[in-house]
Structure 1
Amino acid sequence: MTQPSFDLTTEPWLPIIRHGSLQQVGLRELFSTAHDIADLAIPVPPAASGIWRILYAITARITGLDDTNLDFNTWSRRRNDLITSSSGFDPQVVDAYFDRWASRFDLFHPERPWLQDPRLKTQCKNDAGVNKLVFSRSNGNNQVWFDHHHDHKLDPLPPSEAAWHLVAQLYYGAPGGCSTREVDGLRKDDTQAGPLRGTLSFHPVGETLFQSLLAGLVHPGNLRTHRGGQEDLAPWEMDTLPDPLGSPPIPGGFVSALTNRARHAILLTPDQSGSHVLGARLTWAFRADASKVEDPYLIHHVAGPGDLHARPASNHRALWRDLDALVADGTDTRRARRPRVLLQSSSLPLAVLDALRVRAFGFDQGRGAKDYGWFVAITPPILKWAQERDPEMARGIARTRLAAEESQRQLSRTLREAWKDFTRQSDKSEGPWVSVATSRYWPRAERVFWQILNERRFDEAGMTFSRIASEVYDEITDTACRSPRGAHAVYTRRHLLFPSPSKSRARATTGGSK
């Protein structure tokens, strides 16, 4: 019987945009021609978020920018020399790296399949089915929402797509129930959440993929979290598989911090030819808790010394509302800290820095196994507004965002009170007006937000957003005003739209809250 194989270094599995057309390439071609590629085009955001981290790790390896002995200035100069070159990555170094680890990049290798645990073939007897691997597919007793896949319709995946969903599960997988895995007599059927679950991830985007990959690196010394001598290795670079009953690998540097923090163990089930993936075993990887690592692509909130919490993703929150936390630190009461990758981007050449945009990958997920939806958004070039280069603009962005959110809070509060007066209800229900008003307010506020930034009219932000809130309030309550009781409730509460000057000053001083 022929052993199925899918070599990720040569097989086309990564969608890219090159010369205006959509193509697919393997890892070797992607790195060898990165200077001629505009961007990645992976259609599954959680997969894209994880794959970017894997590509950053490989970039660090083939450029030598993974060297923790380099001080920051030397490291920055080396990166700048590379990013301003037109020749891209050295093809010989690219080939040497993938030649060394060629067998480890085979998706179906019998002993070391890429990012998988072959021991699951005996330790985890139940194949969960291919639908369990794909976030957007229904499985088990869950309702069918977005397509017609269910446990009686298990359409196989091509290996290229299976690789995307493998990565997505390793980074964003759910906690709780999973397939039973037995190791040395210990049988368990629950796992911990993936390291990026429910987060909002930010990545610099250059004019070429080559620029994007280099701009996405951070100094490896910042991520050296282990003092016990563990090497900084990706899973495919490790000589042995980790012990599921031992301590999870503690990142020893940049590469391991980005690639070796999975909490799930997965093994794909290919057909005999290797042309399709029919199922997957998906279970726990470790029983012990993992060490905390500051992911360099997340906004963190500082609750105390060493106590960091990543900002969660929300389907209901537009990207511009996080803009101030991308260009400055400490812009609200939660002491938001910029993603480290954007902080260190200030050392890039100005010609590169001024063209960099920022892409966000968000996956709105609950504490348990609930997934609400994912999204992708991209900013215009904003790093020229970083507090180190334009402190007035950075402060103005924060003030404008705070003013927009304060006006929305006042609008919601006013509508709740007016609804209670109108209906004479004493319960805590906010009524139907608030959700409709919110959906109308934020798109208008976003248009005004960018106008204020372009014209630097920060002092007018509060008044401008209050005017939008007033317009929305009048639209929402128009029908109620056709009765005397409704008109009385609406106009009696309308003054709440405008906070007192003292409260407005206090919020501007403290940074407000989200």
Structure 2
Amino acid sequence: MNLFDEPWIPVRWLPGRDGPDSLGLRNLLERCQDIEALDIPLAAAQSALLRVLYALTARVTGLDEDPDGGWMRRRADILKDRALPPNGIEKYVSGWHERFFLFDGATGRPWLQDPRLAVECTESSGVNKLVMTRPSGNNHSWFGHTRDSAPDAPSAATAVLYLLMWHYYGASGKCTARALHGERISEAKYGPLCRSLSYHPEGDSLLVTLLAGLVRPNTEVRREEDLCPWERDEQTDPAGAPPVPVGPCGWWTDTSRHALLLQPDARGARVTDARITWAYRLPGAVDDPYLIWGRKLVRKKGEEAEVEVRSARPAKANRALWRDLDGLLRHRPPEAEGETTTVQPPKVFDTAVELTDQLRVRALGFDQDKAKNIQFVSGLTPATVGHLTDRLADTQVAVGRLRRLGERYGENLTEAVRKAWVLYTGGDPERTGKLVPQAEALYWPAAEREFWARFDRLDRIGDDPDGGLDIRAARDAFLRLARDAYARTTDPLTRTVRGNQAVHEARGLLWMTRPVRKNK
């Protein structure tokens, strides 16, 4: 199976355009102007594949280098042509075709796999370990019930998606043992995107999405140094340090901390076994232009000096995309200056909105912890994000204030419900049964609709010094939603005198004005 030629990527076509349900990499690059979007149900797989597609797009367009400072102009010219350059696609595909076989191929270098594991790993991990939505070993079931004794072999096309997920979202901890210099080691480090949420600009076609998602390289970056893993002549040494990317292609494709080797059936149509283990013993640099990075000073126990800690905003299955929109803004409300965490927006948006302001934001991630995978996270803004341009600084501030208002009354609602429960029962404030989840389930979806409705009415031409936001009306709207949710949630408590008094006393917390929150 050659990934350039065989269909394995599900796509959704633009209205009036037609084609097969799935494409190989070559046809996808050739017809990206006719495709609306990728149609991959696994958010983490889509996030991983987008990074590979960014690298291929940069290679075939020559946008992997910017020696003369004309990168923005050259990218805009490609968009005007409404297609990626056919000659660039053909040149890259013909040059690297042998490195894109999923299994051994002619060179013994299966794509994004390490053939040395056939000798270094004496035991296999199994296909249930490969398919991250399945339980393996003694783990609990997640999406379905499968047994290691009778695994269902996934198709080769499906296996590619999980191969990508392991490289980007692979968990840390125990793994299949790998021999290194006579020592068998079975401890892996977590993948570069593990537990994180990434944000991608999305246009009205896959062509726009891929061009907007590119990151401008520094003028000193050269493609013969900024390598993707399949472009190396020699494989890296697992005993050494992970490679340090020197440009966008490296950051997109060469930060994995896991090594895999897939075993096909006789026909090469399905994957019957897999070896999954660690790739490097030493830690490596982690950076990504699609993550919201936070920096804060912390003082570790027993130490006098504060140190700066940098972390990516995590994926949370129960947190809507609009609540993280402030992290995409380069101009933040003045009241945010008192927060202890400095927020760095995804680097990709520095140049994305310069291509077109008719972009939305696609959020993709994987809610994980050290012990288990919890849920895929995916979201898409229902409005364009032209507000992210530097020309509309006042509107960006308005977006941040609108988000903070929605957050404030949601947090007030949680505190009020918890207080009412404590006054009524005299119990532990952390044990409120179903009341707090019920209140949050009523408030947050309604607050999301209110947020986007007011977001659509914000200033788009830069004439309004307040960014088009009516602060008082927005505050009253979110407060009304909190009051309604509080009344519906606490109504059963009002059937007794004690409960009615508790509900009435705690209700005042809904109007609480919160100080600037110190980020944790």
Q: Choose the corresponding residue for 1:327, options 326, 329, 335.
A: 329
Equivalence for 2:496: 483
Q: 2:226, 2:191 → 1: CA distance?
A: 20
User: What is the correspondence of 1:58-97 to structure 2 with a 5 Å cutoff?
Assistant: 58-71=56-69, 74-86=70-82, 88-97=83-92
User: What letter corresponds to residue 93 of structure 1 in structure 2?
Assistant: G
Q: Deviations over 1:191-211 (max 9, x none)?
A: 000000011111111122111
Secondary structure of the corresponding residue to residue 280 of structure 1 = strand
User: What is the correspondence of 1:27-426 to structure 2 with a 5 Å cutoff?
Assistant: 27-71=25-69, 74-86=70-82, 88-109=83-104, 111-221=108-218, 231-293=225-287, 295-303=288-296, 307-330=309-332, 332=336, 333=339, 334-348=341-355, 353-366=356-369, 368-386=370-388, 388-425=390-427
Q: TM-score, normalised by structure 2?
A: 0.90
Q: 1:145, 1:262 → 2: CA distance?
A: 25
Tell me the CA shift for residue 426 of structure 1. Answer: 5.0
Q: Deviations over 1:285-311 (max 9, x none)?
A: 000101232x11111112269853211
Q: Deviations over 1:471-511 (max 9, x none)?
A: 11111111111101111111122112111xxx45x43xxx7
Equivalence for 2:479: 466
2:123–2:275: 8 Å Cα contact kept in structure 1?
yes
1:9–1:102: 8 Å Cα contact kept in structure 2?
yes
Q: 2:418, 2:97 → 1: CA distance?
A: 62
2:212–2:353: 8 Å Cα contact kept in structure 1?
no
Secondary structure of the corresponding residue to residue 283 of structure 1 = strand
Q: 1:330, 1:247 → 2: CA distance?
A: 38
1:362–1:375: 8 Å Cα contact kept in structure 2?
yes
Q: 2:389, 2:208 → 1: CA distance?
A: 23
The verdict on how the C-alpha distance between 1:250 and 1:426 changes in structure 2, with shifts beyond 3 A counting, is closer
Equivalence for 1:11: 6
Secondary structure of the corresponding residue to residue 461 of structure 1 = helix
Q: 2:508, 2:472 → 1: CA distance?
A: 22
Tell me the CA shift for residue 380 of structure 1. Answer: 3.0
| Stretch deviating more after TM superposition (139-148 or 451-460) | 451-460
| Stretch deviating more after TM superposition (97-106 or 37-46) | 37-46
Tell me the CA shift for residue 81 of structure 1. Answer: 1.0
1:175–1:369: 8 Å Cα contact kept in structure 2?
no
Cα root mean square deviation, aligned: 2.2
Q: TM-score, normalised by structure 1?
A: 0.91
User: What letter corresponds to residue 74 of structure 2 in structure 1?
Assistant: R
Tell me the CA shift for residue 460 of structure 1. Answer: 2.3
Q: 1:397, 1:234 → 2: CA distance?
A: 38
| Stretch deviating more after TM superposition (34-43 or 237-246) | 34-43
User: What is the correspondence of 1:14-25 to structure 2 with a 5 Å cutoff?
Assistant: 14-20=9-15, 23-25=21-23
Secondary structure of the corresponding residue to residue 101 of structure 1 = helix
Q: Which runs of 5+ in 1 are unaligned?
A: 1-5
1:452–1:458: 8 Å Cα contact kept in structure 2?
no
Q: Which runs of 5+ in 2 are unaligned?
A: 298-306, 458-468
1:419–1:431: 8 Å Cα contact kept in structure 2?
no
Q: 1:476, 1:380 → 2: CA distance?
A: 29
1:416–1:431: 8 Å Cα contact kept in structure 2?
no
The verdict on how the C-alpha distance between 1:12 and 1:335 changes in structure 2, with shifts beyond 3 A counting, is same
Q: 1:212, 1:268 → 2: CA distance?
A: 31
| Stretch deviating more after TM superposition (179-188 or 379-388) | 379-388
| Stretch deviating more after TM superposition (175-184 or 26-35) | 26-35
Tell me the CA shift for residue 32 of structure 1. Answer: 1.5
2:383–2:456: 8 Å Cα contact kept in structure 1?
no
Q: Give the number of aligned pairs.
A: 490
Secondary structure of the corresponding residue to residue 348 of structure 2 = helix
